[in-house]
A = this chain, B = another copy of it.
Amino acid sequence: MIKNTDIFLREHGIKPSYQRKRIYEYLNEHRIHPTANDIYTALVGEIPTLSKATVYNTMNLFARCGLVDVIPIEGHEARFDPHPEAPHAHFRCTCCQKVYDVPLSFPEEAIEEALSQCQIDTFNINFTGVCKECLARNEA
C-alpha cells in the first residue's frame, strides 16, 4: 500500500517524501473533506516535526497537480477532496460541520445550454443544512 502511494505520487510528478505520502494516505483513508488543520492535527502525533506550512504547501502542490480539489464551501477554512472520478456535490451539515458527498450531477445538456460559448473548467455544487444524524439526535 505504501508502495502504491509512492508510485501514484511519482506518476503525478510529485517526489514522494514521507510527509507527502502520509498526507496523501490520510486524505484517502479519511474521506471527510478535511481542513488543513484537520490534517495537521491528525498527523502531528505520528510526525512530531510536522508543520502547518508543510501541510499547506503540500495541499497546494496536490491541487496544482490535480490530485485533490479545493472545495469552496461556506466557512472560513478550505476543505480538500481527493480528486474523484465521478462528479458529485457536497452537503455540509451546519450542526456537526461534516461535509458529505452527494451523488448528484447536472445533465450535460442543461449546462451546455446555460453556458454555451463559455469554456468551463470546473464546477461545484454545495448544499448546507442539517444531516439525518443531527436531525435524529436533536429530535430525541
Q: Cβ of A18: which chain B residues have Cβ within 8 Å of it?
A: none
Report A68-110 CB contacts with B as 1/0, cut-off 8 Å: 0010111100000000000001010110000000111010001
In the complex, are the beta carbons of B132 and A123 less than 8 A apart?
Answer: no
Is A135 interfacial (CB-CB < 8 Å)? yes
Quickly give the copy total for this chain.
Answer: 2
Q: Cβ of A91: which chain B residues have Cβ within 8 Å of it?
A: 115, 118, 120
A17 to chain B minimum Cβ distance, whole angstroms, is 27
In the complex, are the beta carbons of B127 and A123 less than 8 A apart?
Answer: yes
Chain B residue nearest in CB terms to A74 = B72
In the complex, are the beta carbons of A129 and B119 less than 8 A apart?
Answer: yes
In the complex, are the beta carbons of A104 and B114 less than 8 A apart?
Answer: yes
Q: Give bound CA distance, A72 to B125, whole Å.
A: 10
Contact of A121 among B111, B124, B128 (CB under 8 A): B128
A residues with a Cβ closer than 8 A to B are 70, 72-75, 89, 91, 93-94, 102-104, 106, 110-111, 114-115, 117-132, 135
**What are 24 A-to-B residue pairs whose CB atoms are below 8 Å?**
A70-B74, A72-B72, A72-B75, A72-B126, A74-B122, A91-B120, A102-B115, A104-B110, A104-B114, A106-B106, A115-B127, A117-B132, A118-B127, A118-B129, A118-B131, A119-B129, A120-B127, A120-B129, A121-B129, A122-B128, A122-B129, A123-B127, A123-B128, A126-B126
